[in-house]
């Protein structure tokens, strides 16, 4: 069934919108739409699976726990990265002026 990543994006979002595009027992593919959202204060993701993320549009700043302290990475449209399983991370910010659209693949 044909679909488009840019379809059905609401005008205003009070919270991030996650849509599962495809999944099986080993892989999950999500479209995530952010509208200025960030992770709750003092919250860190610590996922069981690897996550490959591509920023389709917008921008974001991610923070990662590292042995040397907190590392921040700024992402812009077209940037992608691999977040290994159990790499503690959080979303510091997403664009407040345009929708941030992510494609996330968990495996």
Per the domain annotation, does 1 fall within a domain?
no
Q: Model confidence over 61-103: pLDDT tens digits?
A: 999 999 899 999 999 999 999 999 999 999 999 999 999 999 9
Per the domain annotation, does 85 fall within a domain?
yes
> What integer pLDDT is reported at residue 31 of this predicted model?
97
pTM: 0.90
Cα separations in angstroms, 52 against 74, 96, 98: 15, 23, 22
87: domain CATH number is 2.60.120.10
Per the domain annotation, does 26 fall within a domain?
yes
Per the domain annotation, does 65 fall within a domain?
yes
Domain that holds residue 97: 17-106
CB 62: neighbour CB atoms within 10 A?
21
């Amino acid at each position: 069934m044909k679909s488009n990543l840019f379809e059905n994006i609401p005008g205003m979002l009070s919270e991030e919108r996650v849509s599962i595009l495809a999944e099986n027992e080993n892989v999950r593919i999500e479209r995530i739409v952010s509208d200025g959202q960030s992770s709750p204060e003092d919250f860190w993701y610590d996922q069981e699976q690897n996550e490959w993320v591509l920023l389709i549009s917008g921008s974001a700043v991610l923070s990662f726990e590292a042995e040397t302290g907190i590392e921040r990475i700024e992402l812009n449209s077209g940037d992608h990265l691999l977040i290994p399983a159990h790499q503690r991370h959080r979303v510091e910010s997403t664009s407040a002026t345009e929708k941030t659209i992510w494609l996330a693949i968990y495996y």
